[in-house]
Amino acid sequence: MPRPDKTPRPKLTRTSAFRLTLLYTAVFCVSVLALLAFIYWSTVAVIERQTAETIEAEIRGLAEQYRERGLGRLIEVVRERSGEGGDDDNVYLLTDPLLNPLAGNLSRWPPDATAQGEWVQVTVFKSADGKTEPHMHQARTFTLRGGFRLLVGRDMSERQGFRATVIEALAWAVAVAVALGLAGGAFVSRRMLRRVDEVSGTAQRIVAGDLSQRVGLTGTGDEFDRLSESLNAMLDQIERLMTGMRLATDSIAHDLRGPLTRLKGRVELALRRPRDTDQDREALADVLAQTDAALAVFDSLIKIAMAESGVDQAELQPLDLTALARDAADLYSPAAEDQGMSLELKAGDAAWIRGQPQLLAQALANLLDNALRHSPEGGRIALRVTRDTAEVEVSVADSGPGIPEADRRRVLQRFVRLETARSGPGAGLGLSLVAAVAKLHGAELSLGDNSPGLMVSMRFPAVSPAGDGVDQTG
């Protein structure tokens, strides 16, 4: 079989894991942006509120000085606060009703500040390190008694610096989030792609014909390990089925070669010799026996296939296993007597299970047929049906040579015949059919030692006569 072309490895950016990581990265970045924006606006609002409260407190204090101690005291206080000993971040201006400056560190009244209690923006040029830079101040106006006007403001450079810092931090946070998201996406995608490549490589080797290949496990117990375990279990089952198919093919060819060869020989011999009624009838009888042997093999294989393929649950019906065992005992009792053996049935009241009557009857027939075939003359065969509240057990015990414990699992496979049974008729399918029927019905099949002989038992879940799974009572 030619080795299949190697599947090309997909690009990292085209993997589902990478695309999913990009999606989560985008969501994460939006979340970071929203969080930082909230922090930014909340902090700016706090700073603005504190600035406004400071300015209003200054105005109230100055107005109180004017009311209590007059204009002279107000001018004195404004000059103190706007002079060298005052706060450089604050601006003050006191004017007369005609807007002529009386005190303060502003040279003139802002032309756009006309309304009472109005907030205005005042630009003040300040020199520092030989450089003159504009500083934006937020100010508020207040009209005193007598028409005098007061303006108090505060430098907003700190707020602008904070805003720039927050914006820079926001940009860096987004950049780091994107970088980490892409790096994480690449790492996760490569890791997942490596695991997928392992599964794909194993599948390619299996397609090439190596059914012993299995998907490796990391031992972490993650979803890939669980998937690998399921795949390996499936591959084990496929390998068992393929091995069974090869064995079945080889065994069918081997077991049918003898009957067909003898069939061909008898036909050729009958054609070559002169016609003789008795000899012709003998030849036809032999041909019929060989044909029946070949058909029996195919019939057993068909029944095993039916049992292994499963049936619709609607086809399983409540049935009395005790009655089924009585029918089987009545059918095989004359054959046991003819061979000098005794067949004993031990069964009590009705024992109900859900099952397929034809397949169960065939399984019991196979067990009894094996017991008759391998028990010596004078041997005893026991067919028993017992039950309790949860299970119903049917067993067939003989007094033959039995099966060694090491071979009991092997004889349940198709076309397996032990050395002690190769001289007798049969194709090694009897116990295989029993195993398939037990699996179909969810029964526990066991092979044990009858001392001497073999005891085969099947334990079925018990149901009520209505088939609803209710425990039976005595």
Instruction: Enumerate the domain spans of the chain.
Output: 20-164, 223-308, 312-461
Residue pointed to by tokens 């109005």? 118
Judge whether 29 and 174 are in contact, CB under 8 Å: yes
From 404, 317, 133, 168, select the one nearest 123 (Cα to Cα): 133
Distance CA 224, CA 339 (A): 61
Judge whether 393 and 459 are in contact, CB under 8 Å: yes
Q: Vertex 73, ends 68 and 74: CA angle to 5°?
A: 85
Residue pointed to by tokens 């994107």? 178
- Residue 215's identity, in one-letter code, is V
Q: What is the pLDDT of residue 386?
A: 92
Q: What is the pLDDT of residue 423?
A: 46
Q: What is the pLDDT of residue 3?
A: 44
Q: What is the pLDDT of residue 422?
A: 44
> Any idea which architecture 312-461 has in CATH?
2-Layer Sandwich (3.30)
What is the SS3 string spanning the chain?
Answer: CCCCCCCCCCCHHHCHHHHHHHHHHHHHHHHHHHHHHHHHHHHHHHHHHHHHHHHHHHHHHHHHHHHHHHHHHHHHHHHHHHCCCCCCCEEEEEECCCCCEEEECCCCCCCCCCCCCCEEEEEEEEEECCEEEEEEEEEEEEECCCCCEEEEEEECHHHHHHHHHHHHHHHHHHHHHHHHHHHHHHHHHHHHHHHHHHHHHHHHHHHCCCCCCCCCCCCCCCHHHHHHHHHHHHHHHHHHHHHHHHHHHHHHHHHHHHHHHHHHHHHHHHHHCCCCHHHHHHHHHHHHHHHHHHHHHHHHHHHHHHHHHCCCHHHCEEEEHHHHHHHHHHHHHHHHHHCCCEEEEEECCCCEEEECHHHHHHHHHHHHHHHHHHCCCCCEEEEEEEECCCEEEEEEECCCCCCCHHHCCHHHCCCCCCHHHCCCCCCCCHHHHHHHHHHHCCCEEEEEECCCCEEEEEEEECCCCCCCCCCCCC
From 255, 252, 253, 279, select the one nearest 266 (Cα to Cα): 279
Query: Which pTM was predicted?
Result: 0.45
Judge whether 215 and 203 are in contact, CB under 8 Å: no
Q: What is the pLDDT of residue 414?
A: 59
> Any idea which architecture 20-164 has in CATH?
2-Layer Sandwich (3.30)
Residue pointed to by tokens 């007597």? 337
Distance CA 134, CA 351 (A): 103
Distance CA 31, CA 54 (A): 34
Q: What is the mean pLDDT of the chain?
A: 78
Q: What is the pLDDT of residue 321?
A: 92
Judge whether 178 and 171 are in contact, CB under 8 Å: no
Q: Write out the two tokens for 231.
A: 């795949």
Distance CA 254, CA 122 (A): 109
Cα 30 to chain center, whole Å? 30
End-to-end CA distance of the chain: 62
Q: What is the pLDDT of residue 456?
A: 93
Q: For domain 223-308, give its CATH number from 3.40.50.1860, 3.40.50.10490, 1.10.287.130, 2.160.10.10.
A: 1.10.287.130
Q: What is the pLDDT of residue 5?
A: 45
- Under the phi-then-psi rule, with left for phi > 0, alpha for psi from -120 to 50, and beta for the rest, what region is 125? beta
Q: What is the mean pLDDT of each run of 10 residues along the chain (474 residues)?
A: 47 66 77 79 77 83 86 88 78 88 86 67 73 79 86 80 78 81 75 79 83 81 82 83 65 64 73 71 73 66 57 70 93 91 90 87 88 88 90 92 81 61 53 82 88 91 72 49
**Residues sharing a CB contact under 8 Å with residue 273, sequence separation 6 or more, in sequence order:** 279
Q: What is the pLDDT of residue 383?
A: 94
Q: Write out the two tokens for 253.
A: 């060819």
